[in-house]
Amino acid sequence: MRFAKAGRLEQLPAYLFQEIDRLKAELVAKGVDVINLGVGDPDLPTPGHIIRKLQETVEDPSTHQYPSYSGMNDFRISVAAWYERRFGVTLDPLSEVLTLIGSKEGIAHFPLAFINPGDLALIPTPAYPVYHAATLFAGGESYFVPLVREHNFLPDLDAIPSDTARRAKVMFINYPNNPTGATADFGFYESVLAFARQYDLIVCHDAAYSEMAFDGYRPMSFLEIPGAKEVAIEFHSLSKTYNMTGWRLGFAVGNAKLIEGLGQLKSNIDSGAFNAVQWAGIAALEGDQECVRSMQRTYQERRDVLIAGLRRAGLDPMVPKATFYVWCPTPHGFTSSAFTSLLLTECGIVTTPGSGFGAPGEGYIRLALTVGKERIAEAVERVQKLSF
Ligand SMILES: Cc1ncc(COP(=O)(O)O)c(C=O)c1O
C-alpha cells in the first residue's frame, strides 16, 4: 500500500532537531559520553511554586473539562498585568490576549489564519524553522531576509525590494534571536513599524526569549513602540522563562483583529490549554520573579565559561546578551556541517550547524547552554584538544 504524503510535507526540509536527536541516540548507544549542546531545551526544573499550583488545581474537577478556546479569563488578565509591569504596555485581556498551547502552536497556526495561497511572507534566515514551514502549510510563499553579522543579525529593511515588500502580507521577526543570540533596540523596532506602515504589513514578533537575558539587559517588547499595536502580534512563551517547555503554555498579544483571527482558526483545531496548566501559569507570572533572575544568573555563568573556553580553543564566538545560544563562526576551512560532525565524532559534543537554520547560517554553529557549567567546562576542554 502506498500512502503518499501531502505535497506540503514533501516541500519541507527534515526537521532539524529530529536529525540531531537521531545522531545523538546513535552515539549514546555506542557508549559515548555525549554532551548535548544541541536542542534549546532548559535542563533546569520548573520552580516549585508553579508545580505546587498545578498539583493543587489538578485536584479540582472543574479543571478537567474543556478549557475555553481563547484561554481562561484569569490567565489572560494575569498576562495583561504582567505586560503592564514588565513592558509598561497596556492590553485589554479579553480582546488583545490569547492563550496558546506553547508559542510554537500559535506561530504555526498564525499563517493559516492570515495567509492566502500565493501571499508572500518576509522571513528571516537563519531562523527558527517554524515561520517558513507554517507559511508553506498555508500555501504562502517565503521571501527570505538574510541576517548577517555586518548588519548585527538584524534584517536590512532597505535591501528588501519595494515591489517585494508591497506584495508581502506578513513579516516575521524574532528578538532576542534564535539562533544568533542577537538583540534589537528601540531604533530597530521603530524602523520595523515604519516599514510595516509603509507596506501595509502584519508584523509577527516572536519574543519567546524576552526574559532570558544577561548583564542586566532587559529586552523590550515591540509593542512598546507607540502605534505598534496597529500592525503587530507578539508571541511569548512560559517555556524558557520558567523552565516549562513540557507544559505547553504560551500566549499571543497585540492587535485585536489579529488575535481574533488566530483565535477563530484555533477554535477549529484545538480546544485550548489545560486549565490547571493555566493556573500554574498564573502562579508563574504573578509569583516571586527571583526564579527568573536565578535562571538568568545560571545561563550567564554558563555563557561565560563557554565563551572563555571557546576562545582558548582558538574560536571567536559571539557573546549573546540574551537567549541561551552561542553563535560561533566555524574555524577556517570548515563548513557548518563539517565542524558539527567533527565536534560530534571527535569530542562527543552535539551542536547545531548554522546552515540548518538557513543558508546565511553557513559558516556558523549554534551551541545551547543547556548543561551545567562543569559539563560545559568539560566540553571546551575536549574542543581545546582538537587542532583545526
Ligand atoms: C524562537 C523560538 N520561538 C518559539 C519557540 C517555541 O517555544 P514554545 O512552543 O515552547 O513556547 C522556540 C523554541 O525553541 C524558539 O526557539
Q: Residues 188-206: pLDDT tens digits?
A: 999 999 999 999 999 999 9
The percent of residues in the chain predicted with pLDDT above 90, rounded, is 91
Quick one: pLDDT at residue 2? 84
103 alpha carbon – ligand 1 mean position (Å): 6
238 alpha carbon – ligand 1 mean position (Å): 10
| Atom number of ligand 1 nearest to Cα 174 | 1
210 alpha carbon – ligand 1 mean position (Å): 11
Residue 125 three-state SS = strand
Quick one: pLDDT at residue 6? 92
Question: By the 8 A CB rule, do 322 and 219 touch?
Answer: yes
Q: Given ligand 1 and candidates 183, 210, 239, which is best to mutate, with the most ligand atoms within 8 Å of its CB?
A: 239
In the predicted model, what is the mean pLDDT of residues 14-18?
69
39 alpha carbon – ligand 1 mean position (Å): 11
Quick one: pLDDT at residue 357? 95
pLDDT above 70 for 365: yes
312 alpha carbon – ligand 1 mean position (Å): 31
pLDDT above 90 for 11: no
Q: Given ligand 1 and candidates 128, 238, 245, which is best to mutate, with the most ligand atoms within 8 Å of its CB?
A: 128
Please tell me which residue, 45 or 10, carries the higher pLDDT value.
Answer: 45
Quick one: pLDDT at residue 15? 65
The pLDDT tens digits of the residues spanning 267-280 come to 999 999 999 999 99
Q: Which three cell numbers stand for residue 351?
A: 551542536
Torsion, Cα of 137, 269, 114, 136 (10° steps): -10
250 alpha carbon – ligand 1 mean position (Å): 9
104 alpha carbon – ligand 1 mean position (Å): 5
Q: Which helix (DSSP H) or strand (DSSP E) does residue 378 occupy? A: helix 373-384
Residue nearest to atom 5 of ligand 1 (CA): 104
| Atom number of ligand 1 nearest to Cα 128 | 1
pLDDT above 70 for 84: yes
In the predicted model, what is the mean pLDDT of residues 317-339?
96
pLDDT above 70 for 382: yes
Quick one: pLDDT at residue 24? 81
- Please give the Cα distance from 139 to 122 (Å, whole number): 14
Quick one: pLDDT at residue 16? 66
pLDDT band at 388 (very low <50, low <70, confident <90, very high): confident
pTM attached to this predicted model: 0.96
Q: Given ligand 1 and candidates 43, 175, 206, which is best to mutate, with the most ligand atoms within 8 Å of its CB?
A: 206
pLDDT above 80 for 234: yes
Quick one: pLDDT at residue 1? 67
pLDDT above 90 for 174: yes
Q: Which three cell numbers stand for residue 108?
A: 504555526
Which of 179, 172, 256, 176 has the alpha carbon at shortest distance from 220? 176
Determine the distance from the C-alpha atom of residue 3 to the mean position of all C-alpha atoms in its chain, rounded to a whole number: 33
Ligand 1 lining (C-beta closer than 6 Å): 40, 102-104, 128, 174, 178, 206, 208, 237, 239, 245, 250
The DSSP 8-state label assigned to residue 43 in this structure reads -
Torsion, Cα of 301, 361, 154, 211 (10° steps): -30
pLDDT above 70 for 285: yes
